[in-house]
Amino acid sequence: MAKFRKKPVIIEAVQFHYDQKPWPDGVVNTGGGKGQGWVETLEGGHIASDGDWIITGVRGEKYPCKNEIFHLTYEPVLEEGCYGNE
């Protein structure tokens, strides 16, 4: 099986906290459960749980990402449009 690496793309993200209003753009309350919101993605709707990150993708789409996965996959950008050593 071939191996691939993610392209370095700068994204915008905000952490979702159920009790913190207003909620991030793209997250709606469907009354589905305490601590949860709903995010419509390109692949359909997904639950956003308290502590998830709401990511804005390269096409402006929104999608939730679990906190642990977010920190394994992304790192802060020091300056907008810069990786810190360019």
Strands 53-56 and 62-65: antiparallel
| pLDDT bucket at 24, cuts 50 / 70 / 90 | very high
Q: Which long-range contacts (CB under 8 A, 24 or more apart) does 3-12 make?
A: 6/73, 8/83, 9/58, 10/77, 10/80, 10/81, 11/55, 11/56, 11/57, 11/58, 11/74, 12/55, 12/56
Average pLDDT, the chain: 88
**For the segment 40-81, what is each residue's pLDDT rounded down to a tens digit?**
999 999 999 999 999 999 899 999 999 999 999 999 988 655
- For the entire predicted model, the pTM comes to 0.80
